Homo-oligomer: A and B are copies of this chain.
Amino acid sequence: MEDEERLADLVKGGLAGEGFAVDVAHDGRDGLWMATENTYDVIVLDVMLPRMNGYALCSRLREAGDWTPIMMLTAKDGIYDEAEALDNGADDYLAKPFSYVVLLARLRALVRRGGRERPVSITVGDLVVDPAALKCRRGEVVVALTPKEFAVLHALARRAGEVVSKSELLAQAWDFSYDGDPNIVEVYISALRRKIDVPFGRTTLMTVRGAGYRLEAE
């Protein structure tokens, strides 16, 4: 028997003992199918799933409007995986190896709080920022952004019309371990302008000298 299948059965057995009713799918396609056909309290998802990986399955479900709480199981444990899991719409994640106690505690917490509110896309004038899809568009034109660019834009869009200071942007778009040149913010602002303003002859991303930046609807 495969390792994953053995794990799945263990989890199933344990959760059943806790009073959960459990369905198991052994690959991504089946999982997607079952998730769309049924209503679950919570979905536990392995990142490394045959036929469709966990991230993909997760985003597919979210795109389809399914906001069932999702717990993602990841093999690696870098912060990028965590962030990636959450970015893809998971509500929580657990790095392997994990203890049964922890999984159970987390699942109970997830079920109790009923999952996340659906992320809303933010609209600033004719600029639409979609956190769920990590995309943005101006009018009907889709603008491609790198993850970092998106993080900065998202932080600005969440507070559209307000001045967001450089240090706030640093705190929100960079790791706490980041210890580099704050000039990096200027570099990204510059890049964003080149993508969301210049091609459209707009100036919505304003500098407020000595204070920060402001994204305006106009």
A residues contacting B by CB (< 8 A) are: 7, 10-11, 13-14, 16-18, 77, 79-80, 82-83, 86-87, 91-92, 95, 97-102, 104-106, 108-109, 113, 116, 118, 132-134, 146-147, 151, 155, 159, 161-165, 167-168, 171-177, 208-211, 214
Contact = CB atoms under 8 A, between A and B. Distances in A.
B109 A171 contact: no
A10 B177 CA distance: 10
Contacts of A14: 168, 171-172
The 6 closest A-B pairs by CB, nearest first: A14-B171, A17-B168, A79-B99, A132-B162, A147-B210, A86-B105
Nearest to A208: B134
Copies of this chain present in the complex amount to 2
B102 A79 contact: yes
Nearest to A168: B17
A155 B17 contact: yes
A168 B18 CA distance: 9
Nearest to A86: B105
19 contacts: A10-B176, A11-B176, A16-B168, A17-B172, A77-B95, A79-B102, A80-B99, A87-B101, A97-B175, A99-B176, A104-B172, A108-B116, A109-B113, A109-B116, A132-B161, A134-B211, A146-B209, A146-B210, A147-B210
Given A13-B167, A133-B162, A147 B102 contact: no
B211 A147 contact: yes
A77 B79 CA distance: 12
Contacts of A168: 13-14, 16-17
